[in-house]
Amino acid sequence: MPRAGLELSRLIIGLAVYILCTCLAHAEILRGRVVKIADGDTVTVLDESKHQHKVSLIGIDAPERKQPFRTVSRQNLADLVFGKEVAVEWHKQDRYQRVLGKVLLNGQDVNLKQIKAGLAWHYAQYDKDLRLADKRLYAEAQKSQPVSRALGCGVIRYQSHLAQDRWQNNVRYSLIVSIEVPDESVDIYSVIESIIPAQVQVVWDKDFIPLQDDLAKSFR
């Protein structure tokens, strides 16, 4: 390529990057109270003029209706923001007039919290409007999703990793579980049945489930 053409190409690329960075740096801010939780990645925000805005949490995707963990994901988001004042950084709306944005609670990224909780995925196909730093944070959170939860019922620790396969026609999940019980009086089978949905494929790993051999066989 001639030198002049190369310089022109560099100029065009540089200008495009500048425009993109400028747009990302000047996000609109929607402030209001969360009055509804539709699912693990959609909320409704009521602004000071009493106008409701449906907000889709950008860069993440949560289980939909009739998919495993939908209720848990929705409840986790509700626990985080329902009834609370939030700020939403956004640049545009989708074809359904939903605001596509990052929800902030006291400066903390709620979208990221849903990923870290193992109850939403980094939706890389639709994160082009995210800042580069946020893309990296979401991707890193996706890689380290195992989460500790206290479940009671004699269970000391429960870790899960929710992974999404390709799902044009159906959804499959894998769940890595680690359970520790204080003593043999705990009915481990009933505990397992209570925490693992029937639709979920359980992946057994001796490093994650240090249980008796006969119990471990049921996970193979």
Task: Determine which of 31-45, 56-70, 134-148 has the lowest per-residue pLDDT on average.
Answer: 134-148
SS (H, E, C) 167-218: CCCCCCEEEECEEECCCCCCCHHHHHHHHCCCCCEEECCCCCCCCCHHHHHC
Residue 23: pLDDT over 70: no
Per the structure block, which two tokens stand in for 176? 């890595």
- Regarding predicted confidence, which is higher, 197 or 153? 197
Residue 38: pLDDT over 70: yes
Please list the alpha-helical segments (H only) found in the chain. 3-25, 70-81, 110-116, 132-143, 188-195, 213-217
Residue 158: pLDDT over 50: no
pLDDT above 70 covers a percentage of the chain that reads 52
Per the structure block, which two tokens stand in for 214? 């006969």
Q: Using alpha carbons, select from 52, 63, 163 the residue that is nearest to residue 98.
A: 52
Going from N- to C-terminal start, the domains of the chain cover 29-143, 147-217
**For the chain, what is the mean pLDDT?**
71
Q: For 146, which DSSP code?
A: -
Reported as type and span, the H/E element at residue 103 is strand 99-105
Amino acid symbol at 26: H
Q: Is 198 left (phi over 0), alpha (psi -120 to 50) or beta?
A: alpha
Residue range 98-117, pLDDT digits in tens: 999 999 999 999 999 998 88
Residue range 53-99, pLDDT digits in tens: 999 999 998 888 776 667 888 999 999 999 999 999 998 999 999 99
**Arch. (CATH architecture) of 29-143:** Beta Barrel (2.40)
Please, which pLDDT band fits residue 15 given cuts at 50, 70 and 90?
low
Question: Which pLDDT value is given to residue 40?
Answer: 93
pTM: 0.61
